[in-house]
Structure 1
């Protein structure tokens, strides 16, 4: 993989370049000044750009947008100390975002995601004959006919180890890392014995449910090969990207409303899944809010209401969805529900944050109330 790195902080720039090279990535160029990167000739055969967001002169969001005019297929990974930029990052199709200080383990995941995005999927007829491993909300398996089956894990550690190896996909994970993750309080020999026993249990469980997944051990590292299954979150992201690229508004709507059945491994509560869980939540929220805005402009209040209600369910303190719901219910002539939504917003913000609705929303509701009383 050939990449370029842009960061105005010399130490951060040097650290990123060093980590990338250690991971066998070719760094074509590195810049502290973002303006120096705006040379089309530099981007020949470059597959990805690692871009700091907070830079003087030109911030990373603007720089990335201009770089993608040179090559629309360029993958952009944002690097920032401020995670509030993450939602904005997805506006210009970021492949990923990394929070400073960047850890090598997290960078490896990003590189694998970049590599996967450039691989062709298996032919559709083969894919359709594969079971689907579910990572949305909880860990489960669905056969090609759509029948869901429980996986009879022997222990909670077996379930978590399997989930973690799937989480890492094709990356080999050292036995030491797995021991520290699952048995941090045990001595090395005891942790090693538990690891071997747990891997054996996983293999037996996979065999019992006829799940064609292999766990490979080489050079002190474990790697899972999920080629025998499809993974629901990968299917969802691929289908959503294709629907967005093909301007299939109906497909995007269905995938946002019904296709995303829950946050990544939400029911399992694994702390190591939190970054991926948040990335997917942010992506869903950004796309769902954009789609709701387009539907509102198109004059489809019923569809808008269903989507905003789903947003409200997942992000109950996100005020914009209440305003969207109030506007849509007003178009349908449902005054009672407009009042109900504003009261619900006041109650939720007070209970969760000790706050009142932002001024723009309060003003809209005051104007609406005045218009109603004058009729």
Structure 2
């Protein structure tokens, strides 16, 4: 049952803050299956004056139904409730968005640890005291700093730069060049996941399936929320706040202000820029900047199709620009690029074929034979196949023309 509160006219509390006046009232809802507990908490919050109780609920499901329309700044949740307890309700609140703060209220201490997995502001023990309310409001104000009368620019207006290197390794650095150190390996993996997949809405179940498929659903949910909290907290400590929101079963991610080598690399690869005297330098720059597979040694299972995609971009760039260099007579430049390509993609037959042409045109019979034998051995050991018949024929013709 929803218990609507009468229209309340709270005095606006004026708070001193760096010699400015700040107007601040937070909107709250209370969810508890005991009416006396609701009445006491509501009275204490109203006495404080900085929190307006917009509605109270005896049933958690009714609170969920009204959450979107009420848009509260904070929800006070009793933990021990029938049908749906406060922890399950907190999970539903987190799924609906990251902007609503949560304060748990309980007579039992044993729920405190699991409660904070949902990024709770505070855990109030019953019986509630005015000191406990004061501490809660203090923490809420620290989480949601009020808007000052002199308007400050929004956080998204001029976001600090942060840089991510994903080709050949995975490194994130802040605007001052400091390396971002992740609290857990899973936090680091989630950051990599969101960077690559976050350009489109990501279904929540895809994240759970890709990162926590070995855990029961409830435990996986808990790990996702906890890891997201750690990720945002780590980035915030480096002066960067990404937008990570949840709606309609999907996470929406915006890493505005982030510079990434993989995004620029992919944009150039997809441009299909013809190789000319004007674009040659850009091709050379990108194939030299390619340091290896996406995320390097962090070969996350979910990243395999992305690793293959970027390796394909690199392979195509090298082949295209090497053909150009061979036509221009720059055999040594082409040879170097092709040999580097084979260090990353050892089974690329096109690279071997172009190298055979280079050694043939150079009249270097020994290198021609050596490279053909290497190709034959690699293809057999890695793929269990022989070189294509066309390459076999080409090789025999080259040997015949070069003679002994």
TM range (shorter): 0.5 to 0.7
Aligned to 1:75: none
* RMSD (Å) for aligned C-alpha atoms: 3.1
Q: Secondary structure at the match of 2:403?
A: helix
Structure 1 pair 323–239 and aligned structure 2 pair: CA distance change class (3 A): closer
**Contact in 1 for aligned 2:265/2:286 (Cα 8 Å):** no
> How big is each residue's C-alpha offset from its partner over 1:292-324, in whole Å with a ceiling of 9 and x where there is no partner?
222222221112112211232222222222221
Secondary structure of the equivalent of 2:164? strand
Alpha-carbon distance change, 251 to 188 in structure 1, aligned in 2, over 3 angstroms: same
C-alpha distance in structure 2 between counterparts of 1:138 and 1:312, whole Å: 19
Q: 1:286 aligns with which of 301, 306, 316?
A: 316
Cα distance per residue 1:37-94 (max 9 Å; x no partner): xxxxxxxxxxxxxxxxxxxxxxxxxxxxxxxxxxxxxxxxxxxxxxxxxxxxxxxxxx
Q: Does 1:154 align with 2:179?
A: no
The yes-or-no answer on 1:295 pairing with 2:287 is: no
Q: Distance in 1 between matches of 2:203 and 2:352?
A: 47
Instruction: Please give the alpha-carbon distance, in whole angstroms, between the structure 1 residues aligned to 2:222 and 2:213.
Output: 13
Larger radius of gyration: 2
The answer on 1:361 being equivalent to 2:401 is: no
Q: TM-score, normalised by structure 2?
A: 0.53
Counterpart position of 2:355:
325
- Selected match of 1:136 from 167, 176, 179: 167
Change (3 A) 1:334 1:169: same
Gaps of 5+ in 2: 1-156
Q: Structure 1 pair 187/239, CA: closer, same or farther in 2 (3 Å)?
A: closer
Contact (CA 8 Å) 2:352, 2:375: kept in 1 or not? yes
Aligned to 1:257: 287
State the Cα distance separating 1:229 from its structure 2 match: 0.8
Residues 361, 220 of structure 1: CA spacing in aligned structure 2 closer, same or farther, 3 A cutoff?
closer
Q: Distance in 1 between matches of 2:187 and 2:262?
A: 21
In the alignment, does 2:229 pair up with 1:200? yes
Change (3 A) 1:154 1:320: same
**One of 232, 238, 257 as aligned partner of 1:228:** 257
Greater relative contact order (CA < 8 Å, ≥ 6 in sequence): 2
Q: Is the 8 A contact 2:360 2:402 kept in 1?
A: no
- Which has more helix, going by share of residues? 1
Q: How far apart, CA to CA, are the structure 2 residues paired with 1:343 and 1:241?
A: 34
342 and 207 in structure 1: CA distance in 2 versus 1, 3 angstrom threshold: same
- For residues 291 and 174 of structure 2, what CA distance do their matches in structure 1 show? 17
Matches within 5 A, 1:335-354: 335-354=365-384
When the two structures are aligned, how many residues end up with a matched partner? 247
Q: Is the 8 A contact 1:172 1:222 kept in 2?
A: yes
In the alignment, the residues of structure 1 paired with residue 310 and residue 299 of structure 2 have an alpha-carbon distance, to the nearest angstrom, of 15
* 8 Å contact kept, 1:256–1:288: no
> SS of the counterpart of 1:171?
coil
